[in-house]
Structure 1
Amino acid sequence: MTDRLITHLRHVDLAVPDYDRQLDFYTTMWGLAPQVTDSGVAFLAAEGSPEQYVVRIRKAEEKRLDLVAFGAADRASVDELALRLGRDGVTLITEPGAMDTPGGGYGFRFFDVDGRTVEVSAEVEARQHRKVEEKESIPVRLSHVVLNTRTPEATVAFYEKHLRFALSDTLTHPHMGDVMFFMRCNDWHHSVAIARGPHTALHHASFEMRGIDEYMRGSGRLLRAGVEKVWGPGRHMAGNNTFTYFLDPHGNTIEYTTELERLDEDTWHPHLYDFSDPTVSDQWGTANPMNELVAKQSFNDVDRGVFVAPPM
């Protein structure tokens, strides 16, 4: 798509009351590397990713999703996107300018249709990263984020119109209708998915592992440590990726995955998958059944950050 200005997903930023517990979990258990930790803010990198960080944790009185961040190709793309959004009546939180987060760069923030803060940036200095080795069960990169909303059709329309995301696939159900929309900003099957839920919140954040063996080793490490598993291990139909979902200490659902599908965007046609067929949710048949309890855990708490910009 020639006028797509967003190139990729950068990071997801979380605010939590118990900062020390959350930081310990994401570093010692989940496998992220602390880059900068100072006065209640931590920037955590994935060893295999050139992004300065893939998760930011901030100490706060209330749990919330601070923001979701995307990359753009260059400064001109950032300016053009900000101009388009402003012209279309989207609320800009900040105008394009220099950024003071690790790696610097040039970017701006705005509210999406549900009131989430979204950041877009370019010219962020690449982090010195490394190849994740065989049997090393740590994340290579942030794969995707899934967002809950009561009005997914409107959210999908916003991301299609304003950010030029493309629909890859949709999950539907005979009794519930369309419940999840997978959207892409490059040839990965999805960088964002929009889920139908009872309120606006983070559904889950997903982290790519090196391969099947590393994915299983990581899943097993968390199971042995007693981390609460939500769903998995299994392999989805949409995206063809593996999945094991866990809860972090503050009840955010996070996923280990691998082998997310890459598409030929010129020839791809979206599928409508009926997930009343159990092979749609899990091709392998190894995961615990998808039911109301599993779904409820990923609804998450009501997001206290809706239409409230994070303080940093």
Structure 2
Amino acid sequence: MLRYQRLARVDLNVTNLDRSREFYEEIVGLTPMGLNADGSASFLCGTDDCVVVLHESAVPGYRSLALSLEDESAFDELGARLSEHHIAWDEVSTEECNAHSLVRAWRIAEPNTGAAFEFCLPRGIAVSRTFKPTVARIQRIGHVVFCTPRRAEAVTFMQNVLGFATSDDIDGVITLMRPPPNPYHHGVGVGLGSRDGLHHVNFMVSAIDDIGVAINRFKRADVPIVFGPGRHPASESVFLYFLDPDGLTLEYSFGMEEFPEVSPREPRLLPPVPESIDGWGGIRDPRMSATGLVQPYRAGSGWQAWVEGAA
């Protein structure tokens, strides 16, 4: 089995870096780590050493997701899986690894969405700063969810090649998966959509009060709330979805089912009805998940070509 530790980093494209830096610090509650050599801005996200990196780009959306592997031997298993399915990968440069406190990292393109996935081995201490809770007691990046017209194909790739375990499936709508043995109900999801895009990024918070306080904070700051508060029956999470300045969808959630490594329950197939999404009967704002494209990555094309493609 390909063994993961956690979601380590998510990189997002935003159209106005200064505006988004202020929003992610003051409204979302991330701890700024400063500007990077490439002009991007990094933020510490919770007590699990998760990092969010914002890059200025003409098109807002998803840039990449990094998952930390359990140990060096996991690269052998990953390489065998990628080779078997004829998936090319790039060795991330020493310079970039040093910038993110990594021992080693590989990057691939998910073949159905073009989404960049990075697999990394962090150094002993991934970051040199401590997360300082301000407006929300964030624990970690909970999950990243994509939307694509090739939902079934993307799910098959993530299951068969990346080794993700399906926790639940809302029939024909969305599949929720976890990178084992990470216990949380889902770390990656793939929903059906008309484009290859970012559905949302989730931040897990420490208490339901973080969600209640956020509702009033968002109202005072004119931040659109596009779904919730509600409860997802699949994961048991209490949720609140809101928009960043570019219209990208973010989520706070509290509570989530955790799977044991040994003898976990079987995945469930839930009916494609609103009650499978929200047990509290909420109605989604049509702006939810309407903005945010995947910046496509092509292994072997070179890092610089990919970066320039976002300009």
In structure 1, the gaps of 5 or more residues are 173-177
1:229 CA displacement: 1.1
Task: Kindly report which structure 2 residues correspond to 1:97-176, keeping only aligned pairs within 5 A, or say none.
Answer: 98=94, 99-113=97-111, 114-124=113-123, 125-127=125-127, 137-172=136-171
**2:71 corresponds to which residue?**
74
SS at match of 2:186: coil
**How many Å separate the matches in 2 of 1:301 and 1:58?**
13
Assess, with a 3 A threshold, how the Cα gap between structure 1 residues 37 and 302 changes in structure 2: closer, same or farther: closer
**How many Å separate the matches in 2 of 1:75 and 1:96?**
15
SS at match of 1:159: helix
CA contact (8 A) 2:166 2:176 kept: yes
SS at match of 1:100: helix
**How many Å separate the matches in 2 of 1:22 and 1:136?**
16
CA contact (8 A) 1:184 1:192 kept: yes
1:67-93 C-alpha deviation (Å, 9 max, x unpaired) = 01101012231243134313421121x
Aligned-pair identity (%): 28
**1:89 corresponds to which residue?**
86
**1:182 corresponds to which residue?**
176
In structure 2, the gaps of 5 or more residues are none
1:66 CA displacement: 1.2
Amino acid aligned to 2:104: Y
Whether 2:208 is the aligned partner of 1:230: answer no
Task: Kindly report which structure 2 residues correspond to 1:1-312, keeping only aligned pairs within 5 A, or say none.
Answer: 3-38=1-36, 40-51=39-50, 53=51, 55-92=52-89, 94-95=90-91, 98=94, 99-113=97-111, 114-124=113-123, 125-127=125-127, 137-172=136-171, 178-185=172-179, 186-265=182-261, 266-278=263-275, 280-285=276-281, 287=282, 289-290=283-284, 293-294=285-286, 297-305=288-296, 307=298, 310-311=306-307
Assess, with a 3 A threshold, how the Cα gap between structure 1 residues 207 and 48 changes in structure 2: closer, same or farther: same
SS at match of 2:64: strand
1:136 CA displacement: 5.7
Amino acid aligned to 1:137: A
SS at match of 2:154: helix
1:132 CA displacement: 7.3
**How many Å separate the matches in 2 of 1:109 and 1:131?**
27
CA contact (8 A) 2:178 2:184 kept: yes
How does the TM-score come out when normalised to structure 1? 0.86
Amino acid aligned to 2:288: Q
1:43 CA displacement: 0.8
**How many Å separate the matches in 2 of 1:188 and 1:304?**
27
**1:175 corresponds to which residue?**
none
Amino acid aligned to 1:264: P
Which of structures 1 and 2 has the larger relative contact order (alpha carbons within 8 angstroms, sep 6+)? 2
